[in-house]
Structure 1
Amino acid sequence: MSAQAPTNAHVSRPTGRAPKFDVAVVGAGPAGLAAAAAASDNGARVAVVDSAEQPGGQYWRHRSEAAGAPEAGEFHHGWKQYLGLRARFDAGLAAGRITFFPSTSVWMARALSHSDVFALELAPAHGGGQSRVPSIRAASLVLATGGYDRQLPVPGWQLPGVMAAGGIQAFVKQNGMLPGSRFVIAGTGPFLLPVAANITQAGGAVAAVLESASLAGWLPRAHRAAGVPAKAVEGAGYVATFLKHRIPYRVRTVITEILGTDSVTGVRTARVRSTGEVIPGSERELTGIDGVGLGWGFTPQLELPVQLGVETRVDVDGSLVGIVDETGLSSVRGLYLAGEITGVGGAPLSVLEGEIAGRSAALETLGTRQAKAADQTATPGHGSSTALDAVTGAERRALARNRGFAEAMHLAHPVPAGWADRLTPETTVCRCEEVSYGELDHAHGELAAEDLRTEKGLTRAGMGWCQGRVCGFAVSCLSGGAGRVGADAVPAPAAAAQSLAQSAKRPIAQPLPLSALRDLED
């Protein structure tokens, strides 16, 4: 891994036309890194845009290469795979086939009908400043924008010391240190395990890991887990870590309140029935806590795919995801999707999807160019024979196994029922705008706010800096009547589906300075 990735600095801020590429890749995490390497390996000129300063994404977030910080990969899984992908990526940079735009966001994407290319409008990812170029053009586009931690509100979760579980892991990976000393990790899903393991690796203590599911949901789906044996090996490593550090792992247990005045000092927990009701007498209190990590799965980042008009569906975990064929091609010609935005399934699946999408995009673009050069009729389209032939039988089988495992994981670790019943009127739901559950409940019950957009207009929930990325799922559920128990309970996916589709429609996908609007070509 190079100390700092070159960015092909010969691409300077233009005064005229935007630079053009064969393939543009948005995102440099597992899916995006694999897509860029595959497209470059197949001869395409590739642009890679990522909001971070260096490749790796959230999964392979690591210490600063620019500062020369040593990185041995001790906090990572699949580090050898990352090094292999990074070597291919760096080779593309050195050969001039890849141009990297770090610390840059795509705030708008358009398909230009008059020229069969995509236009990406760029802005600095971290506030002020100026992008190297205000926009780029590409014949094909691979979106690998990943996702972020899904959050559910808990009384007291606005206190300093409460973070998304992924936020704690990212902090450790990037800094080699912890944002606290003694933690409780709570939510649902296998992701809670590596977060706890990273905390102990960094010298911290984990008072408990609280899993809201019972794990019995794996029993009818054990064959899907067996189809991905690497997951079992990884799980065995976590079991060993938990035994070594004596970390309590409590199933069907939730945090009912986070304690503290100026910062976290403890948590109240309780066991819950499968229907979501708290089991009387199971309440207990953990004190001496200065960090809490919360995570109920992940939410795919769909702003750019929705801007471009891709067909979507609601996945089994309640996430809105893009629909693709086996090459990663979406319903929009020339637009490929890879990674979590096609369905949350973990890094190995993301890498596989990225390899296929990047290769397919390159072959499709270069094949179309060759056909045009030979004066043949060229129609880049949905599932061309060139791209489909590039997907091997082994890749198809691996896709099926990994997607089967992902579906089993989502079904075994659903969003828990009853979480809304544990909120108080004073519980903050939207932390950016400090909107309470009482305000949302009043808007829903008295003012007919039955979707996220109406709730936003009446209460300002989702209007803050994160633009609803943290509270959006919860507000969608609350406005649709989900999250409760009893005969009138509504499943979270059913309640959130329409609101999630609405919230993903953003003409401006990311925060941007006004100068980005000034620099628009048309």
Structure 2
Amino acid sequence: MTRHVVVVGAGPAGLGAAAGALRAGAAVTLLDAAENPGGQYHRMLPGAFAAADPGRLHHGWRGFERLRDHVLGHARCDWWPESAVWAVERPDRGVPQVHVLRGRADGAGRARHVLVPDALVLAPGAHDRVLPFPGWVLPGVHTAGAAQALVKGERLVIGDSVLVAGSGPFLLPVAASLLDAGAAVHGVLEANTAATVARGWGRRPWELAAESGKAAELAGYLRMLARRRVPYRTGRGVVEARGDGRVEEAVTARLRPDWSVVPGTERTVAVDALCVTHGFSPRLELPVAAGCALRDGAFTEVDADQRTTVPGVHAAGEITGVAGAQAARTEGLLAGWIAGGGAPDAPEAVRTRRRRDRARAFAARLAAAHPIGAAWPGWLRPETVVCRCEETTYGALLSAGGDPSRNSAHAVRLGTRAGLGPCQGRICGPTVAELLPDAGGNPHHRPVAQPIRLGELARPPIQPPIQPPIRPPVENPTGNTDRKESAR
């Protein structure tokens, strides 16, 4: 009987996993909470835009189109858009069951499903991590991912006068997208010093030959910034945002290698929008719920074939290490091939594994070049908000952390409300754990991964056959929801 593989996430890793499983001969159910595949990296314009060149702001768009059309048009692929996985249930034996809500997140008629696959590939991706600083909750302060999503998905800019700051190479394509969409970018600020960045990227430089494509891409962004006279500065960051009702100016400062502020180097820049990111937080609630072990508490542990520590569960993309879209797609191909029953020693698996290993080396280099400095809490003041949902301040956290009666993560959450708001700690959880290492707890432990209404929970689930039906191939699929959904 044909193996049934469920793939959670339709970004580069998820699409790669679906393609790998299909190549191995499996039937695939591909899930994503969005209307269209592509994830954050290839966020698609709505079909109603009828864009003449939808890939204009995307790197590698043609390759994405080929992969998307191959996967969604395949007879053995069942594409479930607008499908949120709200829980993964571990039975005593066998592959975890996947609990899914199908329908718009703001709709009242979502159908509840339970999938029981032969193998599960988790590729939920990551979201921006923004370290708090005074004024970061002001309207007009955006994450880099949000700014990129608005430009790519809606052709909207977050402001006319923007400053881009934080850490990591993601700052460059975001600034380029904003410029291309018509915004004025005052500068791009990398918090790590030039020595830190050079040391990270320059270690074992001969290994960079295998990643010449990424180097050329980054060089292209830098040339664009230079052509548009946008300065790129290292060792400098935004330490405060100010404004009356919304951001009006950003305070920047020179930073030491540990990200402590050099006194007297503060400068004020007038802006109407601020774009900030300090790396990415992998979405680990599903791997944690499935029982997968974590590596260093930050990423899902996988073996040479992308298997997690739970039998039948595989992982790919940012949840195993942040290395970019191409690396995520390669990991997904290998994970899907193995999950679909492909031979580990097959030539295509050997070649994919080799490319994956180069991608992992790139991820290690990226982490070394753009680390988070340990002294960043020095930016904070007692009144600085850390948990935006519940408006929990830094001072309240410190008070709770020093109280011997609140010596556990549970007690800190109850006492301060940090992590109990709508985002359920997705944004503030890693920050609280870092500020209070003895009482921060596991910020990724979230049995209910997505919000679910009580009525939806009470409704009996639809239990489809374990083997999904094989449908006729779809001609020229677009990935938009106005094409026929093939699920039921």
TM-score for the superposition, normalised by structure 2: 0.88
- The amino acid that maps onto 2:329 is V
Question: Out of 203, 211, 223, which is 1:220 matched to?
Answer: 203
Counterparts of 2:90 and 2:401 in 1: how far apart (Å)? 38
- Deviation for aligned residue 1:76: 1.1
Contact 1:453 1:503 in 2 (8 A): no
- Deviation for aligned residue 1:302: 0.9
Task: Report the equivalent of 1:466.
Answer: 423
The answer to whether the aligner puts 1:361 opposite 2:339 as a matched pair is yes
Task: Report the equivalent of 2:280.
Answer: 298
Q: Once structures 1 and 2 are overlaid, which stretch shifts more, 39-48 or 460-469? A: 39-48
**1:450–1:73 CA distance, 2 compared to 1 (3 A):** farther
**1:278–1:112 CA distance, 2 compared to 1 (3 A):** closer
Counterparts of 1:228 and 1:87 in 2: how far apart (Å)? 26
Identify unmatched segments of 5+ residues in structure 2.
Answer: 464-488
Question: Out of 31, 47, 61, which is 2:13 matched to?
Answer: 31
Contact 2:85 2:98 in 1 (8 A): yes
**1:172–1:345 CA distance, 2 compared to 1 (3 A):** same
Counterparts of 1:304 and 1:518 in 2: how far apart (Å)? 22
- Deviation for aligned residue 1:45: 1.6
The answer to whether the aligner puts 1:63 opposite 2:45 as a matched pair is yes
Question: Out of 293, 309, 320, which is 1:342 matched to?
Answer: 320
**1:339–1:406 CA distance, 2 compared to 1 (3 A):** same
Deviations 1:211-268 (A, max 9, x none): 1111233333534433311111001101111111111111111112101011111101
Task: Report the equivalent of 2:232.
Answer: 249
The answer to whether the aligner puts 1:333 opposite 2:333 as a matched pair is no
Question: Out of 476, 487, 503, which is 2:443 matched to?
Answer: 503
**1:157–1:274 CA distance, 2 compared to 1 (3 A):** same
Question: Out of 100, 114, 137, which is 1:135 matched to?
Answer: 114
Counterparts of 1:181 and 1:395 in 2: how far apart (Å)? 43
Please list, as runs of the form range in 1=range in 2, the aligned pairs for 1:349-498 lying within 5 A after superposition: 349-363=327-341, 386-389=343-346, 392-447=349-404, 449=406, 452-480=409-437
Counterparts of 2:256 and 2:287 in 1: how far apart (Å)? 38
Task: Report the equivalent of 2:481.
Answer: none
Contact 1:327 1:357 in 2 (8 A): yes
Question: Out of 443, 449, 455, which is 1:515 matched to?
Answer: 455
Please list, as runs of the form range in 1=range in 2, the aligned pairs for 1:119-198 lying within 5 A after superposition: 119-123=97-101, 124=103, 126-198=105-177
- The amino acid that maps onto 1:297 is G
3-state SS in 1 of match to 2:29: strand
- The amino acid that maps onto 1:207 is H
Contact 1:105 1:125 in 2 (8 A): no
Contact 1:151 1:296 in 2 (8 A): yes
Counterparts of 1:453 and 1:229 in 2: how far apart (Å)? 47
**1:239–1:509 CA distance, 2 compared to 1 (3 A):** same
- The amino acid that maps onto 2:35 is E
- Deviation for aligned residue 1:331: 1.3
Task: Report the equivalent of 1:372.
Answer: none
- Deviation for aligned residue 1:507: 1.6
Contact 1:54 1:65 in 2 (8 A): no
- Deviation for aligned residue 1:334: 1.1
Contact 1:63 1:71 in 2 (8 A): no
Contact 1:186 1:293 in 2 (8 A): yes
Counterparts of 2:79 and 2:49 in 1: how far apart (Å)? 19
* Same amino acid, percent of matched pairs: 40
Task: Report the equivalent of 1:368.
Answer: none
Q: Once structures 1 and 2 are overlaid, which stretch shifts more, 462-471 or 224-233? A: 224-233
**1:321–1:355 CA distance, 2 compared to 1 (3 A):** same
3-state SS in 1 of match to 2:362: helix
The answer to whether the aligner puts 1:235 opposite 2:218 as a matched pair is yes
TM-score for the superposition, normalised by structure 1: 0.83
Contact 1:312 1:320 in 2 (8 A): yes
Identify unmatched segments of 5+ residues in structure 1.
Answer: 1-19, 365-385, 481-494
Task: Report the equivalent of 1:79.
Answer: 61
Task: Report the equivalent of 2:468.
Answer: none
3-state SS in 1 of match to 2:110: coil
- The amino acid that maps onto 1:508 is V
Counterparts of 2:320 and 2:13 in 1: how far apart (Å)? 11
- Deviation for aligned residue 1:269: 0.8
Q: Which has the higher contact order (CA 8 A, sep 6+)?
A: 2
Counterparts of 1:300 and 1:90 in 2: how far apart (Å)? 26
- Deviation for aligned residue 1:388: 4.3
Counterparts of 1:431 and 1:460 in 2: how far apart (Å)? 10
Task: Report the equivalent of 2:472.
Answer: none
- Deviation for aligned residue 1:23: 0.7
3-state SS in 2 of match to 1:393: helix
Contact 1:45 1:98 in 2 (8 A): yes
- Deviation for aligned residue 1:131: 3.4
3-state SS in 2 of match to 1:387: coil
**1:221–1:193 CA distance, 2 compared to 1 (3 A):** farther
Counterparts of 2:405 and 2:225 in 1: how far apart (Å)? 47
Contact 1:143 1:337 in 2 (8 A): yes
Counterparts of 1:416 and 1:205 in 2: how far apart (Å)? 29
Counterparts of 1:80 and 1:309 in 2: how far apart (Å)? 37
Counterparts of 2:23 and 2:308 in 1: how far apart (Å)? 22
Contact 2:95 2:311 in 1 (8 A): no
- The amino acid that maps onto 1:243 is A
